[in-house]
Amino acid sequence: MKPPEGLWDGLAELVGAEDYAVLRVEHEGMIHGANGLTDCSARTVAVRTNMDPAAQVKTLAHELAHVRLRSTTAGMTQDAWKGWLDHLFTTR
């Protein structure tokens, strides 16, 4: 399946805006068997290229969520995490 034109580039730009680099890796063995991997200490997002293009875009969107969540929750205490998660899962 082919993703919408420009979607990968738009997502990659959002990742870059958070000062993370997007890496494309050849296979899942390079990222512990995953489709994608966000490394907060290295500030990289890796997506494997041996999936169809739509799956690659979906994975990049998923990894962007990890980047955004990390920037939102950095430094939170355990109690703050619990309150945030309670709110997240009880708000509709």
Interval 66-87: pLDDT, tens: 998 876 666 667 777 777 777 7
Interval 17-44: pLDDT, tens: 999 999 999 999 999 999 999 998 899 9
Question: 3-state class of 44 per DSSP?
Answer: strand
Q: Which residues contact 36 (CB under 8 A, 6 or more apart)?
A: 45, 46, 47, 48, 59, 60, 62, 63
User: Kindly report the CA angle at 44 between 31 and 11, in degrees rounded to 5?
Assistant: 100
Structural domain containing residue 79: 7-90
- Identify whether 66 is part of a domain: yes
- Identify whether 38 is part of a domain: yes
- Identify whether 18 is part of a domain: yes
Number of domains forming the structure of the chain: 1
pTM of the entire structure? 0.78
Residues paired with 21 in a beta bridge? 44
